[in-house]
Structure 1
């Protein structure tokens, strides 16, 4: 196993004979062999400072690496890096070298240990996108694997090429915003959307029940049922119920004349008090955003957006809240969930790039749709023609507005599926190299963006019949794209050919390589995910395996 050291820490110079004689020469040759091989895989450039640091490491470290290479076995670490990628092997080897009590760790002095830890830190965020992808998936030639590589790894046509990286977002720890004595008071603490009054009494009773804090926080929440009850406005009602909690729940209870309408505050985010969030303006904004979701899309529509909002909220309530102390970030990522696919044309990034659409030209083939979604949302909020009636930022301080824009934009861009494998590996690395307190203080936005991405791919992790319904809607949209690609004489994207795609095989690959490994990582720090979600994923995988056998 060779350590694919980061670009800045690898050199390819010849071995240098040390004053120690033949033993020293063997040490230098060992270093050269490992590091030169690493440079070939990581695309390295010489760095004399890295060379000096690595030359200072004791020979026993390299003898340990030789033993690992010859033995070819995996290394046991606290966090499972066993996804079979070059990146995972590299991180695992560094962890084994630093393992307390090992001969290599005992041979390191404090400065050397600190330096190697720094190498690992850089490795967590560097390397080619391909180095994060499981080798089994890279070596496969099936249609399903082509889709997974293209959609979640950003690799097209099996060409080895360096992918452009996401812009690095500067994370600033935002102090928790406290309510001031002169906070803005809203026109009503019991505001209800106008659409509420257009519903039947029975529909209001149902909504009051399913939009309660308890039900909103459930993993088995069925958003399609909500869409039916509220006459096709699930994003409006779910967004309002969650973002305006607990006032939204109190308003529904009060309007129905139920006991407890004037009771003390229940569970909720209380963004109204924290950020002077006006519920009427929020509903106007959500109404406008929902209207921009394409109702002709089988999958990427307002119901999907509402589902992602609720699922992200559920993950926060299933333990995610304990790993962030930043209310502004939670508020921002919930907003990002609502707008993350606004204006989606129903044809993915690959189509945009291959067809050289106006969107692809505008965003230079980089996260084309994600850039469009974020831009469209902020044109509403901060553009020249913004409507003051939907200005949900009006009660916030200028610095909060800027921070919120950074948070929402970063979170939406994180939903680019082509960054999936590197994103999951980054989270593995952060969880293994940081204490929980350090992780909470310095990487809470990384964590929340990761939760949003998992919410976006959670369809296959939902209980029956939801996971089947979502799979069919997704394939329906894919096949529509494939038909369009044939019509335009473009390459048909993986899983988009209705005559070649196997329904169960597509889901087996999606769950095996994308969904389950991601939730396994999350389950390491959220016990409820491990206990409640992983069994559902395994059951769904078994269902599709039986469907595959039945189709033979």
Structure 2
């Protein structure tokens, strides 16, 4: 039908009541009819070939015969026009209703202009060129729109896939929790019977107060290394550290230089491209789409957690090590590193917010600031500095109980006493990790010299203790004073570490500066953890901490205040030193505006 449409010339017809013009519409989607009646009124309508024009033609007529009848009718001045509100036009085998255009005051002039343009197009070669160029621009714009819509379609399909996987995981977890609840209920009844208690009189929903009179204790796994998707690890490794040739995949391992091949043998670049191209749609493909975004700000640990057997930290840590080529640079035994990642992931509790996903997220953002943010280059950081940053990011909340430092100080827990109320949890995270690394199976630092090990340890201590928000004013104030002097932080180890502390602080609260869909997921988990602490405080008979009372939710106020007084000033200051990070300020402002528009205060 399109071919026949393009063969229709520009047609004019005079009747005793009106002048008629019939031509292919400018956007080539159908026929445009223009009518000017004896009262100088102007009528114009475009009839789309796929809808209104097709309906007018009917099913019994062929397109060629339909268009030929219109051409013959116009050429013989045989058209009929009746103007009464709209123009009712009969041309050949077709009947059209053409709408009056009241915006055109002089119909005859407009018709003359259309006629002039038609003649000009045929006689002026430049006019034809301009017309052709205009069509080419329209075509390019339409192609751009089509491409954008296809990308949006793919993004929506991915989102639907993620949501379906998320729903499936939630339903599985719901079923598991239901079974656990039934078991616990039975145990509760047995306990009450054995202890002479009335199960109906007791409150089984009251928070169980943890025993903070002794160490929390590290949580490990029965196996040194978790079950993992070996092909997913091979693809991640091959993306960032492809084999130079196929002999790498079969060679016998010789000495420390081959430690990086201890578990996974990577593909060559060409093999990797072939495997990615042939990768079927599914969980592994979706996980690779996340890992492909290692150097992008919207890296989504939620997808990895859902589709990689709750292994967002394990797979992120492994991919980051490959991205920075740490296995080869420091001759790290790949199996020991994978054991370490496993234990770190297992050591995070199932807290709503301070869980292994948060560790994975901070690990990724910290390395993003180093590379894409430009910190490594500007501060002239060593490979050891970068290694310390990545590891500090993944372990910075290890064994976090979901209760903040203020809570520990308030109840004078074992950890508060041990660390004298100073950076309590931060010191605990570090101490547990360094103690874990005393076991050769998990010693991520085994390839380091004593000097390297000392340097990395000191940097990690500086960075992780810097995430204590109780020290924020002190640390941020010192940072602002320092960069006000100059930006030559690369000249001293002390100021290099000062920049690294700011990097991990930004990574730790980076959810406020992420795309809104990611920010809101993290925000909801944070408030859930706040409410859990508030429940615990209420059960103890203590005052509920600000913003932690589920009976009086005020996330909008707390988030706006936090972004106004902490996030945005810190992001702006970091962006002053690292201009490539300024986009995070814009995201934070957008997320702040979300709460201005969606106040949840009661």
TM-score (norm: length of structure 1): 0.58
Which has more radius of gyration? 2
SS in 1 for 2:523: helix
Aligned to 1:108: none
Aligned equivalents of 2:484, 2:355: Cα separation in 1: 37
Q: Does the 8 A contact of 1:481 with 1:496 survive in 2?
A: yes
Say if 1:310 and 1:435 are closer, same or farther in 2 by CA, change over 3 A: closer
Aligned to 1:305: 359
Aligned to 2:303: 225
Say if 1:377 and 1:200 are closer, same or farther in 2 by CA, change over 3 A: farther
Q: Does the 8 A contact of 2:369 with 2:503 survive in 1?
A: yes
Q: Does the 8 A contact of 1:325 with 1:440 survive in 2?
A: no
Aligned to 2:405: 349
Deviation at 1:390, TM superposition (A): 1.9
Deviations 1:7-56 (A, max 9, x none): xxxxxxxxxxxxxxxxxxxxxxxxxxxxxxxxxxxxxxxxxxxxxxxxxx
Deviations 1:226-245 (A, max 9, x none): 21121101110000100232
Deviation at 1:331, TM superposition (A): 0.4
Aligned to 1:209: 289
Aligned to 1:238: 316
Q: Does the 8 A contact of 1:191 with 1:280 survive in 2?
A: no
Aligned equivalents of 2:384, 2:535: Cα separation in 1: 43
Aligned to 2:258: 185
Aligned to 2:564: 512
1:130-529 correspondence to structure 2 within 5 Å? 184-186=257-259, 188=261, 191=264, 202-212=282-292, 215-245=293-323, 269-295=324-350, 297-316=351-370, 317-322=372-377, 323-382=379-438, 386=439, 388-436=440-488, 438=490, 442-529=494-581
Deviation at 1:190, TM superposition (A): 7.0
Say if 1:430 and 1:327 are closer, same or farther in 2 by CA, change over 3 A: same
Greater CA deviation, 297-306 or 487-496? 487-496
Q: Count residues with an aligned counterpart.
A: 335
Aligned equivalents of 1:211, 1:367: Cα separation in 2: 33
Q: Which has the higher contact order (CA 8 A, sep 6+)?
A: 1
Deviation at 1:439, TM superposition (A): 5.1
Deviations 1:192-240 (A, max 9, x none): 79xxxxx99832223233213xx11111222111211211011100001
SS in 1 for 2:516: coil
Deviation at 1:501, TM superposition (A): 3.5
Question: Over aligned residue pairs, what C-alpha RMSD do you find?
Answer: 2.3
**Aligned pair 1:542/2:593, yes or no?**
yes
TM-score (norm: length of structure 2): 0.53
SS in 1 for 2:264: coil
Deviation at 1:282, TM superposition (A): 0.9
Aligned equivalents of 2:334, 2:485: Cα separation in 1: 41
SS in 2 for 1:186: helix
Aligned equivalents of 2:484, 2:320: Cα separation in 1: 32
Aligned to 1:67: none
Deviation at 1:306, TM superposition (A): 0.6
Q: Does the 8 A contact of 2:463 with 2:501 survive in 1?
A: yes
Deviation at 1:185, TM superposition (A): 2.1
Q: Does the 8 A contact of 1:294 with 1:300 survive in 2?
A: yes
Aligned equivalents of 1:440, 1:320: Cα separation in 2: 15
Deviation at 1:500, TM superposition (A): 2.7
Aligned equivalents of 2:412, 2:309: Cα separation in 1: 37
Say if 1:187 and 1:407 are closer, same or farther in 2 by CA, change over 3 A: closer
Deviations 1:353-403 (A, max 9, x none): 111111112111111111110000001113xxx1x2222222211111122
SS in 1 for 2:289: helix
Say if 1:367 and 1:435 are closer, same or farther in 2 by CA, change over 3 A: closer
